[in-house]
Structure formats: C-alpha cells, structure tokens
Structure 1
Amino acid sequence: MPGSTSQIDPHRRAFAVSEAQSLQARGARVWCVPFARNLSGVQIRGNAKTWWQKAQGDFDVSKTPTIGAVMAFRATSSMPLGHVAVVSELIDDRMLRVDHANWHRNKISLGMTVIDVSEQNDWSQVRLESNPGAFGRVYPITGFIRPGASSRS
C-alpha cells in the first residue's frame, strides 16, 4: 500500500478542478458527487449516501483504499446525504490523502489527510484533517469504489 507510484490521472484532476472553479465563478454550488465523478471516472448518480449500494455489481468495491478509488461515507445526522471523496495518496496502512469538494462549504480540498481510527484497522471509521494539525470527529465509511467495471461483470 504505502510507497505506491500510482497517482490520480492529472487530466481528470485538472478537469474536476476546472469544473468546480467554473461553478464557483458563476456563483453556483460545488458538490462532492459531481467532483468525485469527474475526478474518479466512477459514473454513479444520486446522493453520496446511495453510491455504495449503487456500486454493487457494477464496480469493484473494497474495504481497502487504492489511489483513484472513491471513499464512500455513510450518512449521519450531521451529514444526512453522505459524502464521497477520491483517494489521492496512500501514506501508510492507516493514513491517506483525499481530494474532494464541499467538505468546507462550496470549496474543493486537495490532499486532505485522512486517518483510519477503526479498532479493527479496516477503514470503517475515519477522521479528516479539516484544518492543519486538527483532526475532526469520527465519520463512518462504507468502503471504496474503484473506477472501471466490476470483476463480476
């Protein structure tokens, strides 16, 4: 996992960032779902909380992060629509970075650090470094959706 030379497609990243900036320039809202779809190539529609279920059978899904995979957050009372982010870097077995939108309202965040705080070391619970040096609350994760067709397809 750590030390991987794989990276996010720079053309996809440039496109996702450009689309988000275009929305911001027009005063439109930047959401996590279109940003993740543009960046990852995972073509799922609907609120983030539905992505994990919709991915079943159509995409490779895993409990293990890989670069370019969409990290699917469960809906919570503070995040009722769920959230999606794209894994941009693997640091070690319990730390990675994501690129995502609307974690901070109407903004994109590139390279935000995420730590696995689950007791089983299974990426089921994470904390994000929303501000430098400060990891926020614990968020439940359903898993990781990899771009491309499912191996079951």
Structure 2
Amino acid sequence: MKKLLLSAGILASLMATSPVSAQSLLDYVGQCVPFARAASGIQIYGDAWTWWEKAEGHYQRGDVPRVGAVVVFARTQRLPLGHVAVISRVVDDRVVMVTHANWSRVGGERGHAEQDVTLTDTSPDNDWSSVRVWYRDMGGLGSTTYPVSGFIYGTPATRSAPRARPARELTSRDPDYVGALLDVYR
C-alpha cells in the first residue's frame, strides 16, 4: 500500500496534539480529532461532536461533501464523543471516501488511520444527514446508520479567519479513483 508522506508542518501539528512518531499520516495511531485536524488543516479543538458548532463563524459549513472537508458525526449512544473524518474523494452524489483514524480495528487494535474508506449517504433526502461507514472487521458497510451534522470546509467564514491548509497528500492525488486503486496493486 502506498504511504502518504507528511509535510514538516503537518507532522509538527500532529505531533503537537498527540504523541506521534510516524513518518506518514497513515502510520498515525490515536484519536480521530488530532488526525482530522492534521489532515484537514482545520484548527478546531474538543470532542468530535462539538466541531460543528465550534466551526460557526470560523469556517464555512454545509451539507455537500468536498475533498478536504471534515464530516462531523453527531454524538450518539454508540459514538458518545462523535467522530470526524476527512473527505478524500467524492465518488458520486451518494458515495464518498474518507480518510480517518480510530474506526475499524487494524491488527486487532483501534486507533489506526485508514485511507479512502467508503462513506455512503443513507438520508432519504440525499442531504448527507445520515451515513453508513465501511467497517474493515465486516469487510463491508457497517449495519449502523450514523447521524451527521454536516461538512466543515477549510474556507474561512470571515476575512480575518485563516484558510485551512489540508494535507497536500489528501488533496493532490489523482482524482481517477479506479486508476488510483490499480496503482496500489501495481
């Protein structure tokens, strides 16, 4: 599998928020919040479910997935702290790929980063208010539907707010999804 190399700035940001000794964003092991902050460049702190409200007035928000945006999962009984993930590809109007940490078990443990994980819109109005997520342990989409607050974009809500700088590795890759998959196995 290809590795995404971190720029010095992204690595420094990730290391400042959690103990990381990785040379690659995908080597990260830890919580979803520091990973999403480093991968997206969106500088929000606190539990994942709080990101939606904390973004108000700082970053633009919406209900349309875009590469580099952070999708915010609402707090539920199964996700008491919520979850955040970075959109790494838009496949079509109901399917995107996310890169995130601390979802599936990898090697029997949680916390690992996963690249290009399928996220499917299950909302009846196609507004991304509920989703299902690929779960590695099942080898398919999980059976749970999760409520989503929306997407936080790296674009400042005001002129004085700084623009988020997403990890170049997540946003500058070949947009040809099938070609990118083939490259992994070459």
> TM above 0.5, one fold?
yes
| Secondary structure at 2:21 match in 1 | helix
- Structure 2 counterpart of 1:140, one-letter code: P
From 122, 125, 128, the equivalent of 1:123 is 128
> What does the per-residue CA deviation read over 1:22-58, in whole Å, with 9 as the maximum and x for residues that have no partner?
27xxxx9600000000000000000001000000111
Taking only the aligned residue pairs, the percentage that are identical comes to: 43
Mapping of 1:3-18 within 5 angstroms? Answer: 11=6, 15=10
| Secondary structure at 1:81 match in 2 | coil
From 132, 142, 149, the equivalent of 1:142 is 149
Q: By how many angstroms is 1:65 displaced?
A: 0.5
CA RMSD of aligned residues (A): 2.6
Residues 10 and 68 from structure 1, CA distance in 2 versus in 1: closer, same or farther, beyond 3 angstroms? farther
Q: Which residue of 1 aligns with 2:184?
A: none
Residues 56 and 152 from structure 1, CA distance in 2 versus in 1: closer, same or farther, beyond 3 angstroms? farther
Mapping of 1:1-153 within 5 angstroms? Answer: 11=6, 15=10, 22=21, 30-104=30-104, 105-131=110-136, 133-136=139-142, 137-151=144-158
Distance in 1, matches of 2:38 and 2:100, equals: 11
Which consecutive unaligned segments of at least 5 residues does structure 2 have? 23-27, 105-109, 161-186
Which consecutive unaligned segments of at least 5 residues does structure 1 have? 1-8
Distance in 2, matches of 1:63 and 1:93, equals: 11
Q: Which residue of 1 aligns with 2:163?
A: none
Which has the greater radius of gyration? 2
TM-score by structure 1 length?
0.81
Residues 38 and 95 from structure 1, CA distance in 2 versus in 1: closer, same or farther, beyond 3 angstroms? same
